[in-house]
Structure 1
Amino acid sequence: MEWLERMNRAIDYIETNLTTEIKLEEAARMACCSSYQFQRMFSFITDVTLAEYIRRRRLTLAALELHNGSAAKVIDVAMKYGYESPVSFARAFQALHGITPSMARQEGIALKAYPRLSFLITIKGVEAMNYRIETKDRFEVFGIEGVFRVDGSGEEPQTPAKLWEKSHANGDVKRLEECAGELPSFVSKNLYGVHAVCSYKKTEPDTFPYMLFAFKGKGSNTDGYKTTIIPAHTWAIFPSEPHTWDQFGETIDTLYRRFYTEWLPTAGYEQVEGLELELYGTKDSLNYIELWFAVRKV
């Protein structure tokens, strides 16, 4: 329940500041997590980015203000809801509502409304969720690191998915796997040599680190790679069902979504700094994923 209260406090802050500057780090502070973690959770839970939610809410309120007989000029309404010019406001308004801002004043005109979000526990069904809780000592990993902006902007590669794509294409994944050495005893022997870790260190606001990694152990060759220590943690581990490569995107998204929407709100744990591992392997001659979330009891 505490997790839900935190998320709703963050939404309260956003709603209160729709006509002023919204500081994402402040919303994240109310949710007791990093800005990146908050935006990531929000997207998985709602199927819309936080930036898009804020945009829709502002344009909903702007349309109501214009439609309900406000004498304010369109440019004043635009400025009130964060748009620097009537042109950019009109473009965004028409993209959402299908009409121009001036047309919104007409009686009987059709508008779209996106209501305020509230986070609640709902009964979604009886499908079992497989997981296990394990405590691990610190271990080291090494690999190819990228630091990405939450909104996906910046120089290529702009996202972890593009880092994977680039690293497969240029042979970096294969070379890293050749340098991996033996897998540690605390993971399944059915794993591949290369995996991924997210949010393992502090970076600039609204950015996050992501590394394609191999476990450092006997026989590893770390020359030329970034090395980092993963501290001792308790981990909530969620395994996938075996799947084909064309099912990979849906499989990993479902694991993340169920963790955030079904397990985390009711389990009595909270995530630690957004730290996550994505471990890849094979099972029953198909692909297999384990998501590891660093957690602690609340």
Structure 2
Amino acid sequence: MANLEVNVEYIEQQTIYGLWQKSNDKTISKDIKSLSQKYHMAVSVPEGEVLPYFVLSRNYDEQSNNFEMFIGSTFDKDGLETFILPASEYAKITVKPKLGFLWGASIGEAKRYFYTKWLPKNSYEALNMEYEYHTEKSTGNQPTIDIIFAIQRKS
């Protein structure tokens, strides 16, 4: 396991625009690809040229492994749905792709670390929403993306 660091940061409210789809642990890779294609067609911008770029999941059901997935950005365009990321504290893990191109393995490792190692040892609870935050840092020779987890302090 890579040396992962979790930082808690306050993030201002942000409105993002995109598309929703139901997904599942078994179909997530295919679903991200197809929803991403639909999103890029809707905004008429080629893949890789939309930054910032959000891949958000929420309402994960541990019984069925189903959840809602949203792909979008800050571009407001007809036909896109609006989602507001509330101003709050969030946990952030910055990841690099495995072998320079395997994002899925790095993202999965970061999520497992957050939920099984970091969260049980800290005074926060997860709010069942997380997202990949792709920016200019996601491209280039040493790309990274931030995985952002909605959290709140335990009462």
Alpha-carbon distance in 1 for matches of 2:116, 2:91:
15
Give me the TM-score of the superposition, normalised by structure 1.
Answer: 0.42
Matched residue of 2:78: which SS? coil
Matched residue of 2:121: which SS? coil
Q: Which amino acid is the alignment partner of residue 226 of structure 1?
A: E
Does 1:173 find its partner at 2:40?
yes
Decide which of 232, 235, 260 is 2:90's aligned counterpart: 235
Contact 1:176 1:194 in 2 (8 A): no
Does 1:214 find its partner at 2:73?
yes
Matched residue of 2:114: which SS? helix
Larger radius of gyration: 1
Change (3 A) 1:225 1:171: closer
Aligned to 2:29: 161
What runs of 5+ residues in structure 2 fail to find an aligned partner?
none
Alpha-carbon distance in 1 for matches of 2:125, 2:140:
33
Change (3 A) 1:221 1:178: farther
Q: Which amino acid is the alignment partner of residue 293 of structure 1?
A: F
Change (3 A) 1:196 1:176: farther
Q: Which has the higher contact order (CA 8 A, sep 6+)?
A: 2
Q: Larger helix proportion, structure 1 or 2?
A: 1
What runs of 5+ residues in structure 1 fail to find an aligned partner?
1-124, 153-158, 180-190
| 1:118-145 residue CA offsets vs partner (Å, 9 max, x unmatched) | xxxxxxx9x7432211112322111111
Does 1:226 find its partner at 2:94?
no
Give me the TM-score of the superposition, normalised by structure 2.
Answer: 0.76
Contact 1:173 1:194 in 2 (8 A): no
1:164 Cα offset (Å): 2.2
Q: What is the percentage of aligned positions where both structures have the same residue?
A: 21
Change (3 A) 1:284 1:165: closer
Q: Which amino acid is the alignment partner of residue 45 of structure 2?
A: E
1:228 Cα offset (Å): 1.4
Alpha-carbon distance in 1 for matches of 2:16, 2:122:
29
Alpha-carbon distance in 2 for matches of 1:134, 1:177:
33
Q: What does 1:75-114 correspond to in 2, within 5 Å?
A: none
Alpha-carbon distance in 1 for matches of 2:53, 2:132:
10
Aligned to 2:142: 286
Decide which of 249, 254, 257 is 2:104's aligned counterpart: 249
1:167 Cα offset (Å): 3.9
How many residues are aligned here? Answer: 146
Q: Larger strand proportion, structure 1 or 2?
A: 2
Aligned to 1:259: 114
